[in-house]
Structure formats: C-alpha cells, structure tokens
Structure 1
Amino acid sequence: MKVAIVHEWLDTYAGSERVVEQLIAEWPEADLFAVCDFLPEAERGFLRGKPVTTSFIQRLPFARKHFRKFLGLMPLAIEQLDLSGYDLVLSSSHAVAKGVLTGPGQLHVSYVHSPMRYAWDLQHQYLREAGLERGIMGAYTRWLLHRMRMWDRASALGPDVLIGNSTYIAERIRKVWRRDALVVHPPVDVDRFALKAEKEGFYLVASRMVPYKRIELIAAAFARMPDRRLVVVGDGPNAPRVREAASGAANIELRGRVSNEELVRLTQSARAAIFAAEEDFGIATVEAQACGTPVIAFGKGGARDIVREGETGLFFAEQAAEAIIDAVGRFEAMSIDPTACRANAERFGHAAFRAAMRRVVEEARA
C-alpha cells in the first residue's frame, strides 16, 4: 500500500506538526507533501529525513516570510499536488490540506484540527483584531474569506473519512460542512510530564498571551483573592492587559517565558492549573493532568473531552473573574487524587493516537 501524508505548511514544530510526527511513526513508508516547507533545519528531526514535495507557492517571491499572505492561492496550490499514485492519503488539515484531489480507488482520511475559524464564525473578530473592518483591504479580505468559505465547504466533500481532534471540533465540522466526523484526540507527549504527587501552594497559568486565552480574567480574579498565589508563565501581544489586571497584586507572579525544564517543574508543582480559553482541544490541559495536577477550566470546547469533573478537576461556566473565584473556592473544598489525573492523561499518549488512527484506516479500508 502506497501512503501519502499531506500537511498544510511546514514552518515550525508545533501542535499540528506533532500529529504529522506520529503519522510518520505509524506509516514510516509514507511520502510527505505540503503547500510549502520553510522548516528550520534544527526542527526537522521529526520528519525522519523525508523529502517534502511542495507546491508552486514554495517558489513565489517573499514566500519564506509571507507565505500566509498567499492564502487565496492555496486552494489552487493544494489541488496541484499529484497524489494519483497512492492508495492511502492522510491529510492533516486546519486550512486547505483536506482539499487534495483523490480518485475512486483511493482512500482519503483527513485529520481536521479545525475548520478555518477566521473564515467562519470568527471572521468578524479576525477583521477587528487585524484592523480590517473598513477600507479597500478590508473589503478585499471580506471577499477573499467569502471565496474561501465556498471552497472550504465544497472541498470538505472530498475526504472519505473526516476526523475531528475533539468532540467540539466534530460539532464545528457538522455545523459548517454538514458532515459527520469521528473523534481521535491529538497525541500528547505525556511521558515528558512525569507524575508528582506532592504539590505546592500556588496556582498556575502557562500559555501564549493572546486575546482568546483570556489570561487577564484569571489575573483579575486572583487580584481579588490576595491570600491565594498565582504564577503566570508566557508572553505575547496581550501581555500588557495581563500586567494591567495583575497590577498591585503581590500574590501574582508574572514569570514571562521560561525554559521547558522550568515549565515542567512548575506544572508538576502547581496546586492546580487554570485555563480560561475556549480551546479546540487543549494540549497544555493534558500535560497538567499528566503531572498529576488538577485542572480548573472554562467548561466549553476541548476541555470537556479532557477533564473528568469532580475526579480530575472542575469547570466554570462563564469567562468572568467571578466565575473563576467561585471555581477556586469549589476546588479547595474538593479532594483530587494526583494518580487519577495521571491515569486520565494517559488516554492521550502517542501510542493511543497511533492505534486509533490505524484502526480508523483499517475499518475504512474494510
């Protein structure tokens, strides 16, 4: 069986690339395709030396730094990749990878990280944050996203099997593409985050500081709980709002970026990790559980697939400081076993992901 793995683009080793890494581990004979490949040499180890077949976007002027600006050309680019010689096509898609062309004798299984949120339900937020609500560029961007929505829904008919990375994403697939999707949770390196049963007294937030993470809400909540210590790890464009929310609160420590080793140590030692975002899945949530650390999370999105309420953590219903304060109070009245958190996290390990993907392919072939 000839196998092809298709990824969106390669420019960094992040969440979706970890899926590709495990697909390569399960199908080491596969050939690899992408719209473009600008991955630094130091981050290419997960590709196992595989060459990457790319599209014409690879050769466009300024593509190395600005390939995302060619989004309007990517549907055409992905359709030009010749996969006619393959029996099995596995696409890893958060934008256009699912749109590769396959024929009747081929099986196409598409692992969907998310439909293009900036083209669908988050279009208005995207335009607002990008300063594109008005003017010629704003009008062009609206037209482009309209065209992308039409192509996105049409191309969603191509894969034989769609897989969402969480129940939440499967629901989004059903909403925007009107197709059912299986759920296979993404692989998490739970072995890197060892169990530590002895906890310290602080709560932890570890995240990129971008608006949808709502870290300023957590800081505002702890500013009103001076007897409880909060450690905030991370940096990003929303950092000024976080600093403002934490201003004058001696119980809040803003650590900025830390090493991977320090991140693991903090995650292992925290009394609980807190997440206020509506995530597609939430790998950091699993990592906290792998350390035996309970999770206090906003009760929408991928967190509902991860946290077992009352057993490994709990949810709060609103993205509001008052809801977080209430959740911390409820958490401190609970008793959560760190070993239960660790056992819960092991559901999301590398081996579990590869076995689930192999099972989906074999059932689809049968």
Structure 2
Amino acid sequence: MSLSFSAPSLAIFCKVIDNYGDIGICWRLARQLCLEHGVAVTLWVDDLVSFRRICPEVDPAAAQQVILGVTVRHWQDQDGQFDPRDMPDVVIEFFGCELPPDYQQAMAARTPRPVWLNYEGLTAEDWVEGCHRLPSMQPRLRLTKYFYFPGFNARTGGLLHEAGLEARRHAFQHDPAAVTAFLGRFGVTTTAAAGRKVSLFCYPDAPVTALFETWRRSTTPTVCLVPEGVAPEQVAAFLGAAPVAGASANHGRLTVRVLPFLPQADYDLLLWACDVNFVRGEDSWVRAQWAGRPFVWHIYPQDENLHHKKLRAFLALYARQAPALTAYMLGWNGAQTMDDHDAAWNALDSALPAIAAQADAWRESVLAQGDLVTQLLDFVRDLRFAQENRV
C-alpha cells in the first residue's frame, strides 16, 4: 500500500489550564502546520474565551469555525460519537489531555490507524532526551501513542519557530520609526522611550511590588508595560486605581502603563520593542528567546517545587555565564531568597549588555537545530512509512 503523506490531516486537542500558554502554543502549532505545510488542521479547544484573548477573530459561542484556514471546534466534554471515516491522519494530545473515549475507539477502527502523539511540555532537563519519540502501547485499542518533547538540542524536538520570524524581528528592531509607532499606540512617547522599557507578564505570586519599588528609586527612568489582568493587585496598588487597559501612573523614576491583552503578533512586537522582558509559562518564554532581548522567566508553579528543578536545568544552559541573571531569576521564582531586591536588580542591570549579547548567541544556536513543526512532520512520515511497510 502506498499513501501520499505530503500534507496529512491532523487534529490537536487542547485543554486550557494556564489561561493563555496552552492555547498560545497550540494556536501557533496549528497555524504553522496549516500555513507552511498545507496540513488540514482541526483544533479542539475547551476554552474559547481565553482563546479569544490572543486571537480576536475567535467567536466564543461557535461550536465550529474556520480561522486562518484552521478549523476550530469547541471541545465541551468527553462525550460524543465519532466516525472512523472522519478521523485524521495524525492526532496530537497536548500536555497529555485525555481524548474522548469514543474518539479513541474511532481512531482504532480507522484504516490506516492515525499517528498518535502526546505533545509534552518544554524542559531543559536531561531525562527528556531519553523519552523523546518513545512509544507507549495502548493494548486495549491496538494503538501506539508516541511522546514528543520540544527541546533545545538535536536529541529533542526543537522549538516552534515560524518561517520569516527572524527577518520580521530584525527589520522591526532596526526600524526606530516602527518601534516608536508601535509604542505610541500605548501612550509611550519618544521622551519616555528614552529610558528603560520593560514588559511584565508574570503569575500573581511574583514579587512585583518589590520590583516596582526598586525601579521607582532607580537613577534610570523605567517604563513598565503590563497586559491587563497581570499582577492586578500589585499593579492597582501602584496605580491607585483599577488596572484596566489605558491606566497609567508615574511615581519617582517609574511609569507603569496597562496594555490591552495583545494578540500574538502584537505581543511579539512588544517583546521586540522592550529592553527587558518578564515572561511566564511556556509560550511567552519561547517567544522571549526568539526576541533576542534579556528576559526573566516566571515558571509555572508545580507541587513540591518541582518547577524549581526545571528552572535550574534551563539556567544551567542559558545563564551559565551570567550569574546575576541566575541569581535574580531564582529569587523571582522563590527558588532562593532575595532579601535585598535593589542589590539583586542592580547586579542584573549591570550585566544586561553582556546578557543581551549572550541572548543573540543562544537564539542562533537553538535555531540551528531546526524548527519543531518540520521535525514533527518528519517523525510522522517515518512512522507512517514503517506502518505501511508492515501492512
């Protein structure tokens, strides 16, 4: 049996846990598969309201809609009946979300059976290199599920990076008029932009109040741009008002401005326009790496502080020549004490030029591994070829 598999059909199942990170990754994955590789993608999402925050075209009330060529379906529960003839060539479970039982049965009944992937979370820990592409037999269904791990080297699955991203970033960052026009949309004037520009995206437990106090007393003017809904209590305390889009206040050397929650393309521009970026979770963490700017990562918290191990593994690769960045990021995440925030930030601030140069080198080294979508499709084709030869 010979099958043409140049442009397979594919379904992605996404349960939104981290508000925007999960769907952010899945939406980038779906778009790149569709737009660059001609894959017919169906994206099943359980939370269309969160999805709309990063993609304004989404209709939260629609059971099914097509956006930029991707079919988006509202995944409401684990019930439903599915026809084997409607099963795609590839099925991706994002972060191990469980597929509806009848969907799994329909996959098992399809000929040929779909390639089934469990798309895992990104980590720099060594153990993923031994687990990437490993099969997991599902005897009851006579199906095999394969683990796919994004990563930073050739023994993992790469990172999401769409075609043309580098050229767009380079053009924007070397066009002062474009940067000024973009920041001007949010009330950042040319005079204000002359100081330090920082984007802030973090979880509620970050020491934002201490950071604001440090910047308020700093000798360098700082403009901090915060998406609406981020650290709302700390931002409201600084503003003395509700932290809604458009609100702003200035105290000492610090100006805080609240931005509307940005679509993905505009969020990239924000990262490119700022001198330092505070990011969280996985999606904005990866985009900060592509931005080539110094960044501070707030990792998604896990039980028993397992996230601290993941954080240290990344820092051992990314910041091994930047001890001030390691110390600050560990303190920002509560992985070690940071009693004197001024001293920690000042040490980091002094190291920023060297960190910026290292960020460029890091970006180039990771880009050399190839993009995730191309590697994922190559893996799928290998599996399908092996499957055909067994028939």
Give the TM bin, normalised by the shorter chain.
0.5 to 0.7
Q: Distance in 2 between matches of 1:294 and 1:356?
A: 28
State the superposition RMSD in angstroms.
4.9
CA deviation after TM superposition for structure 1 residue 186, in Å: 3.5
Does the 8 Å contact 1:7/1:91 carry over to 2?
A: yes
**Which residue number in structure 2 is paired with residue 330 of structure 1?**
347
* Residues 214-225 of structure 1 mapped to structure 2, 5 A cutoff: 215-223=208-216, 225=217
* Residues 233-272 of structure 1 mapped to structure 2, 5 A cutoff: 233=225, 234-236=227-229, 238-244=231-237, 249-257=251-259, 267-268=271-272, 270-272=274-276
**Which residue number in structure 1 is paired with residue 145 of structure 2?**
160
Does the 8 Å contact 1:24/1:47 carry over to 2?
A: no
**Which residue number in structure 1 is paired with residue 136 of structure 2?**
none
**Which residue number in structure 1 is paired with residue 133 of structure 2?**
none
SS at match of 1:34: strand
**Which residue number in structure 2 is paired with residue 211 of structure 1?**
204
SS at match of 1:23: helix
Does the 8 Å contact 1:21/1:47 carry over to 2?
A: no
SS at match of 2:318: coil
1:8 corresponds to 2:20: no
**Which residue number in structure 1 is paired with residue 132 of structure 2?**
none
Q: Distance in 1 between matches of 2:346 and 2:84?
A: 55
**Which residue number in structure 2 is paired with residue 76 of structure 1?**
79
Cα pair distance change 1:50/1:308, threshold 3 Å:
closer
Deviates more, 1:24-33 or 1:194-203: 194-203
**Which residue number in structure 2 is paired with residue 293 of structure 1?**
293
What amino acid does structure 2 have at the position aligned with 1:251?
R
CA deviation after TM superposition for structure 1 residue 250, in Å: 1.5
What amino acid does structure 1 have at the position aligned with 2:292?
G
1:357 corresponds to 2:376: yes
Cα pair distance change 1:337/1:232, threshold 3 Å:
closer
Does the 8 Å contact 1:113/1:164 carry over to 2?
A: yes
Q: Distance in 2 between matches of 1:314 and 1:47?
A: 40
CA deviation after TM superposition for structure 1 residue 5, in Å: 1.6
User: What whole-Å deviation, never above 9, does each CA across 1:305-333 have from its counterpart, x for those lacking one?
Assistant: 48721568822322366475444333344
What amino acid does structure 2 have at the position aligned with 1:272?
V
Q: What is the count of residue pairs matched by the alignment?
A: 288
Cα pair distance change 1:94/1:240, threshold 3 Å:
same
Q: Distance in 1 between matches of 2:339 and 2:143?
A: 45
Deviates more, 1:286-295 or 1:299-308: 299-308
Deviates more, 1:35-44 or 1:244-253: 35-44
CA deviation after TM superposition for structure 1 residue 29, in Å: 4.1
CA deviation after TM superposition for structure 1 residue 91, in Å: 1.6
Does the 8 Å contact 1:3/1:30 carry over to 2?
A: yes
**Which residue number in structure 2 is paired with residue 273 of structure 1?**
277
User: What whole-Å deviation, never above 9, does each CA across 1:184-236 have from its counterpart, x for those lacking one?
Assistant: 433465554337489964151332x652555445324434x432443322221
Does the 8 Å contact 1:311/1:336 carry over to 2?
A: no
* Residues 48-87 of structure 1 mapped to structure 2, 5 A cutoff: 48-51=68-71, 57=76, 74-77=77-80, 80-83=81-84, 86=87
Q: Distance in 1 between matches of 2:168 and 2:312?
A: 20
Q: Distance in 2 between matches of 1:83 and 1:214?
A: 51
CA deviation after TM superposition for structure 1 residue 159, in Å: 5.9
Cα pair distance change 1:282/1:6, threshold 3 Å:
closer
Cα pair distance change 1:226/1:243, threshold 3 Å:
farther
SS at match of 2:92: strand
Q: Distance in 1 between matches of 2:85 and 2:383?
A: 19
Q: Distance in 2 between matches of 1:296 and 1:191?
A: 24
Does the 8 Å contact 2:43/2:70 carry over to 1?
A: no
TM-score (structure 1 length as normaliser): 0.58
Cα pair distance change 1:289/1:3, threshold 3 Å:
closer
Cα pair distance change 1:107/1:192, threshold 3 Å:
same
Cα pair distance change 1:20/1:325, threshold 3 Å:
farther
User: What whole-Å deviation, never above 9, does each CA across 1:246-289 have from its counterpart, x for those lacking one?
Assistant: 778412211110677986666445443334x5x2x242x44444
What amino acid does structure 2 have at the position aligned with 1:161?
Y
Q: Distance in 1 between matches of 2:120 and 2:14?
A: 11
Q: Distance in 2 between matches of 1:214 and 1:52?
A: 37
Cα pair distance change 1:201/1:48, threshold 3 Å:
closer
1:230 corresponds to 2:219: no
What amino acid does structure 2 have at the position aligned with 1:341?
A
SS at match of 1:211: coil
TM-score (structure 2 length as normaliser): 0.55
Q: Distance in 1 between matches of 2:113 and 2:146?
A: 14
What amino acid does structure 2 have at the position aligned with 1:3?
S
**Which residue number in structure 1 is paired with residue 331 of structure 2?**
318
Cα pair distance change 1:23/1:264, threshold 3 Å:
closer
Structure 1: stretches of 5+ with no match in the other structure: 58-73, 115-154, 168-180
Q: Please point out which of 36, 52, 57 is paired with 1:43.
A: 57
Percent of pairs with identical residues: 12
Q: Distance in 2 between matches of 1:95 and 1:235?
A: 30
Structure 2: stretches of 5+ with no match in the other structure: 59-64, 123-139, 177-192, 241-249, 300-307, 387-391
Does the 8 Å contact 1:24/1:30 carry over to 2?
A: yes
1:106 corresponds to 2:114: yes
SS at match of 2:148: strand
User: What whole-Å deviation, never above 9, does each CA across 1:99-146 have from its counterpart, x for those lacking one?
Assistant: 5413284320122459xxxxxxxxxxxxxxxxxxxxxxxxxxxxxxxx
Q: Distance in 1 between matches of 2:376 and 2:86?
A: 22
Q: Distance in 1 between matches of 2:144 and 2:254?
A: 48
Q: Distance in 1 between matches of 2:30 and 2:369?
A: 12
**Which residue number in structure 1 is paired with residue 160 of structure 2?**
186
Does the 8 Å contact 1:186/1:348 carry over to 2?
A: no
